[in-house]
Amino acid sequence: MASLLLVAAAAVIAFIWLRGTQRNRLNWLKKLNLPGLWRSDSGALTFEGDMDGGQYRLVEGARREQGRWSLNGNQLKLAPDSDDPPKRIDLRYFSPGKIGLDGPGLRARIYRRESDNVVPLKTSR
């Protein structure tokens, strides 16, 4: 009987921990609010899709890149549509509407969210 209570207590603790982890991740994604247009001194980066993944477009001078993005913790993965290998980039949150990206092809870039009065609508597929 004692072992059954111990297993039940462990299950309840695991459930509470997982729920808290999910809540923290959702709060992190809401705080980042990545989908939209982000500008730096050297170009623009557009994230489309959900809060943690979708399509991206990068424009810096003559460089044009597009593909899929996903977020895992503070690691942003950019997988270009071209034959280039995916890049893992460190994402740093500074304040609402201001992030830093540091990784291959995007060394120490600061991006600011471009704000407008257009509300993006999620499309069904």
How many Å apart are CA 4 and CA 48, to the nearest integer? 48
**Tens digits of residue pLDDT in 39-59:** 988 889 899 988 888 999 999
Query: CB of 45 within 8 A of CB of 38?
Result: yes
Q: What is the pTM of this model?
A: 0.72
Domains of the chain: 33-113 (2.40.128)
Q: Which two tokens stand for residue 122?
A: 């999620």
The one-letter code for the residue type at 36 is G
Q: Which two tokens stand for residue 76?
A: 């942003």
Among 51, 65, 45, which Cα is nearest to 109's? 45
Rg of the chain over all Cα atoms, to the nearest angstrom: 19
How many Å apart are CA 87 and CA 106, to the nearest integer? 10
How many Å apart are CA 95 and CA 73, to the nearest integer? 17
**Tens digits of residue pLDDT in 93-124:** 888 889 998 888 778 889 999 876 566 566 66
Alpha-helical runs (H) found in the chain:
2-32
